[in-house]
Amino acid sequence: MSTHCVEDIKRASAGLRGTLLASLADATTGALADDDQTLIKYHGSYQQDDRDVREERRRQKLEPDHSFMIRTRTPGGVTTPAQWLQLDRIARTYASAGLRITTRQAFQFHGVIKRELKPTLQAINAALMDTLAACGDVNRNVAVSANPLDAALHARVQGDAAALSRHLLPRSRAYYEIWLDKKPLHEAASEEDPIYGEAYLPRKFKIGFAIPPYNDVDVFAQDLGFTTIAKDGALLGYNVSVGGGMGASHGDPETYPRLGSVLGSIAPDQVIAIAEAVVTTQRDWGNRVQRKRARLKYTLDDRGVDAFKAEVERRSGVRFSPAQNVRFVHNGDRFGWIEGEGEGRCAHLTLRLLSGRILDRDGQPHLTGLRAIAERLQQADAEGAHFRLTANQNLVIADVPSRLRADIDTLVREYALDLHAHASPLRRNAIACVALPTCGLAMAEAERYLPDFLTRVETLLVHHGLGDLPINLRISGCPNGCARPYLAEIALVGRAPGRYNLMLGGDHRGERLNLPYRENITEDRIIKELDVLFSRFARERRQDERFGDFLHRVRVVGPGAFAVELIA
Amino acid sequence: MSAPAALPLPAPAPLHEALLQQVQALDGHALWWLSGYAAGMAQRGNAGVASFPVAATAPGLAQAPRISIVYGSQTGNAERIAATLDARLRDAGLPTRLLRADAYPTRELKDETHLVVVISTQGEGEPPDDARGFVEYLLGPRAPKLDGLAFTVLGLGDSSYPLYCEVGKQIDARLGELGGQRWLPRADADADIDSIAIPWLDDVALRARELLTEAPVRTATVTPLHPRTTANYSRQHPFLAEVLANQRISGRESTRDIRHIELSLEGAGLHYAPGDAIGVWPRNPAPLVEQIIDLMGFDAAAEVTHQDKRLSLTAWLRDERELTRLTRPFLLAHAARARNEALDALLAAEPAQLSTLFSTHQVIDVLQRWPASWTAEDFIAQLRALTPRMYSIASSQSAVGDEAHLTVSHVAYRRDGEDRWGAASHELAELSVGEHARVFIEHNPRFSLPADDDRDILMIGPGVGVAPFRGFLQERISRGASGRHWLFFGNRHAQSEFLYQSEWQPLAKAGRLKLSLAFSRDVVRSIDGDPLPAGPRYVQDCLLENGEEVFTWIEGGAHLYVCGDATHMARDVHAALSLILQRHGGLDADAAQATLEALQAQGRYVRDVY
């Protein structure tokens, strides 16, 4: 869709209302009117169809099998057991494939049909959650490191993140009117939006808070990143980075992933002012003519980081201090039990969920199992116990009092939720986006393909004596990069059914972009290429050297790399 | 309530001056068409009349040469180029039309004189989603000869894929194969599209001007008037119609197998009007025939003579006798042989119970349940002769030419672990493209469109009852009728049983069709309560919900049509109409009933129910 189109739709939408009410009432189709399909994103939903049956239904003279994806706004992925149980009920009633944890710590449901959209959103609301601004040209779900070393620090940062998420919500009351049957207010001016104006942002906007030494949120992939500066458990401030972003289009050199540029550091109480200044500057400076160049990363490259920084300082009235040195050790999750400190000796348990998909499958009743865990926590009045979704699509059961640990362990085993205990490091850390059959943008499989692909790579690693090697591997069904592929040590970016670009040379901290290695190749070819590289790695690696770093050192990728054609 | 407008009187009134003048102004082609049309109108209302003549083409207007630009685009590039070409040609004063491939009316391809195709190739040599239908049609067996066509193709693709620009190549080759002449050789544009596309645009624009000044003006063909056609094919002598398409149109989630079947009437000399039916002579399913022969201990090859006809037993049972429908005479005769108390009790029981027996049992069920022995001769003699099954035709010849389309519900179920089928629906469902069905036309002049295209029509056709309305709409749209159309459709589930959904939607969007829908089993679920109905459950509920507007349409002279199940639906719809007249017309029940009967008498309320 051209920029012109989307910009016009936003402006003409009467505060994100469009013709949604009429679209919802139109029984001749399971779809919304065209413009409403854009607007519903701001309400937290995407219209989709089952691409597996698209062609079959065309022949059957039936419209595509339309359904909706709904995404929650869950800053830092924090969810209470009561909320979990309601979401579980919602998934079983209205959704087609269980619960899905996204790479931004939100819940997703797929397969909701149009006439059940409203009841679903009402049910979410009844859990004191919402889906506002989970999609669209607005600030999205705010990510927070899920399992940092310091619990008090987490609480503090989580508080900042939640406040920021609320502060950056669109002012429109459309959501409440359309889904929650609230009466429109009389005062026309009450919906003026000082932050978003009339046409919201030029594109999506993503904010993440990272608590070193863990960069699980991939803070340098965020449009706006806050990295905590702490000492002895006290929050001193944040490093601020801007202009990270994962999206690209195949073959279009005007689009590319970018790592955030560090502007400096601020005090904790300056978060909102800075965030607002960054968002409004992007609102005003961002490219609204060429939608493919609209993200903040391009604004920075077009206008210059220094100019941007100066504008942010001007608007916020805050001067950046020099950035502090921070160190990240990795961007993965810490699986299993981690002890807490302090009274009651609570602990966190991080579970591995492949692609964040929570379903009851043969031998793996994960949805039922997590429901049982949530019920147990509730029954036992485990005050403070809660869930945290991670940005790696995994789940933390947090603040579990020690008296309940044994029960939780039993349930985890009983419901086969203990993948983390026996999966290879490769399998524990891999990320895949949803892709087919629901994502309209997918060019190739991702989530559905991940388990088998991992098995093939694991076999290869074992063959080379590298079975325990932690590798960051990510699969994205298209170059938009929702699985943050451009930071991975090995990434597959979908080109066409069964074909991917093979990217290599990211790191394990989320601090280095990878590079294209081979384009448009099939799985067999990918495995052949990895075979050659693993073989070299096994022979030539230095002590504790990681795969991505190795590839740079020996010039397989990176400046000075020479292309080596595989002689098959 | 004001009296509804009356139909024209049978005796012809003298023609108005103005009308005479108009007729005198028509050219030869149009007069031929008009005479046929008028003769056909005159023949309406006579039962059992032979083919109703229908002009095969529109009144004779020369088809001015024009360039059709068709594009198939996934990411917008092909569309952009096609639109640019269209603008350039129009700026140069040339007549063009620009169409996305899925909006191109494939029936017009045979009349096309100048065609430009701009199409991209995806993935493994695939066309863009929107162009699938167009490409399939062109490459398929039904693509017409294109001797009068000048064409050129621009393909877009990415040479880093195998099968580069494959779709463009296939289309270019196929158009040539069908007899078209290349106006310009095919061009293939790689990822750097403009380097090829811009010079190509220049070339096309240059040649377009030249070509159009050369092109002869095509005159429309004239179909001479068919007087009462003595069709060679009839009920007694059915036509072997080739199956052109056999497509399931119920979604995979539906437990019902509904088929859309396209039959060729080419060479049959048969004509039909929307509302007419096709009679199909079925053959009983071979497994059923074998099973009965086996069960009864008959000799399959034994020759049996009955009423001067001598055939093998297998042939009798397969081609000549009703097996899938149970009849009363047979049941009585069988009971006499079976001497079974339970069966005798049933026969003596309430008519309602007995009618349940007839609707749930086939001949074989009776033979299995209450065994008795028969001789082959007696068996053949007692069974009823096989009869053809009638299906409302789901098309109009003004849209599909020498074809007839059917909407068939495949009757297939299991009984005690065995398969049971409806004879004709099963045979039709099992026919492959290229095989034949034995068919004839049965005219249904009562159930036909109003003569006056200004009349509104209300069509009530749940399930496969929607079939004739597809023909109605095809006809009215092709005639440019100004009257409005309102379709009441229902089924069990919208997602899988909204028959012909993708055909109704564009009509509704264009404001040509009002749709009121009822899906009886669709619900809105609740987390903590009972599911609620999603909307109106049956078509009669839709009627009542829209009562005021329905009444206004009737008052304004609309014609009402009901097609489908006789037992419940027709009765319930009738009751709803009566209620509507009462509520909105201020009539009492008797007066409402009388009004409905009057409408029926006038031919404004007709039913095709079974």
pLDDT of residue B227: 41
Q: Which residues of B have a CB under 8 Å from any CB of A?
A: 76, 122-124, 129, 132-133, 158, 160-161, 191, 247-252, 260, 494-496, 498-505, 508, 515, 517, 522, 524-528, 534-535
pLDDT of residue A568: 36
Over range A482-487, report the average pLDDT.
97
Q: Are A100 and A108 in contact (CB under 8 A)?
A: yes
Choose among B160, B496, B515: nearest Cβ to A28: B515
**Residue A262 region, left (φ>0) first, then alpha (ψ -120 to 50), else beta?**
beta
* Residue A327 a catalytic site member: no
At B451 the three-state DSSP class reads: coil
- A109 CB within 8 Å of a chain B CB: no
* Residue A135 a catalytic site member: no
Tokens of A350: 């991080």
Burial class (CB within 10 angstroms; exposed 0-12, middle 13-18, buried 19+) of B137: middle
Q: What's the rounded Cα separation, in Å, for the pair B280 and B79? A: 45
Task: For residue B354, give every residue at least 6 positions away whose Cβ sits within 8 Å of its Cβ, in sequence order, or none.
Answer: B346, B347
Write out the E strands in B2-86. 67-72
pLDDT of residue B21: 66
Q: Which one is catalytic: A41, A73, A203, A204?
A: A204
One-letter amino acid identity for A276? E
Please state whether beta strands B389-392 and B418-421 pair in parallel, antiparallel, or not at all (unpaired).
Answer: unpaired
H, E, C per residue of A30-94? CCCCHHHHHHHHHHCEEEEECHHHHHHHHHCCCCCCEEEEEECECHHHEECHHHHHHHHHHHHHH
Q: Quickly state the pLDDT bin for A189 (edges 50, 70, 90).
A: low
Q: What is the DSSP letter of B570?
A: I
Query: What sign does the CA torsion over A215, A220, A221, A224 have?
Result: positive
Q: Quickly state the pLDDT bin for B10 (edges 50, 70, 90).
A: very low
Choose among A2, A59, A93: nearest Cβ to B525: A93
At A152 the three-state DSSP class reads: helix
Which residues of chain B are within 8 Å of residue A499 when distances are taken between CB atoms?
Answer: 123
Asked whether the predicted pLDDT for residue B551 surpasses 90, the reply is yes
Interface contact A119-B496, CB threshold 8 A: no
Q: Which one is catalytic: A104, A478, A509, A512?
A: A478
Residue of A nearest to B250 (CA): A60
pLDDT of residue B53: 28
- The pLDDT tens digits for B591-610 are 999 999 999 999 999 999 88
Asked whether the predicted pLDDT for residue B5 surpasses 80, the reply is no
Q: Are B265 and B241 in contact (CB under 8 A)?
A: yes
Q: What's the rounded Cα separation, in Å, for the pair B63 and B137? A: 23
Asked whether the predicted pLDDT for residue B59 surpasses 70, the reply is no
A77: Cα separation from own chain's centroid: 10
- The pLDDT tens digits for A509-529 are 999 999 999 999 999 999 999
- The pLDDT tens digits for B252-272 are 999 999 999 999 999 999 999
Q: Quickly state the pLDDT bin for A310 (edges 50, 70, 90).
A: very high
Q: What's the rounded Cα separation, in Å, for the pair B581 and B570? A: 17
Structure-token match 């699969």, residue found: A475
* Residue A433 a catalytic site member: yes
Choose among B76, B250, B525: nearest Cβ to A94: B525
Helix count and strand count (H, E) for chain A? 18, 22
Q: What is the DSSP letter of A343?
A: G
| Count of residues in chain B | 610
Of B438, B71, B25, B483, whose CA–CA distance to B265 is shortest?
Answer: B438
Q: Quickly state the pLDDT bin for B42 (edges 50, 70, 90).
A: low
Pairwise pLDDT comparison (A1 vs B45), residue with the higher score: A1
Q: Are B192 and B155 in contact (CB under 8 A)?
A: no
Interface contact A28-B517, CB threshold 8 A: yes
Burial class (CB within 10 angstroms; exposed 0-12, middle 13-18, buried 19+) of B574: middle
Residue of B nearest to A497 (CA): B123
* Residue A5 a catalytic site member: no
Half-sphere exposure of B14 (CA within 13 A, CB side): 1
Q: What's the rounded Cα separation, in Å, for the pair B514 and B519? A: 17
Beta bridge partner(s), residue A504: A490, A515
pLDDT of residue B61: 40
pLDDT of residue B33: 57
Report in angstroms the alpha-carbon separations of B139 from B148, B170, B175, B245, B386: 18, 8, 9, 15, 40
pLDDT of residue B58: 41
Q: What's the rounded Cα separation, in Å, for the pair B462 and B466? A: 6
Report in angstroms the alpha-carbon separations of A443 from A491, A520, B330, B393, B503: 15, 11, 62, 42, 28
Residue of A nearest to B161 (CA): A520
Task: For residue A479, give every residue at least 6 positions away whose Cβ sits within 8 Å of its Cβ, in sequence order, or none.
Answer: A247, A248, A249, A250, A255, A493, A494, A501
Asked whether the predicted pLDDT for residue A485 surpasses 90, the reply is yes
Over range B482-500, report the average pLDDT.
98
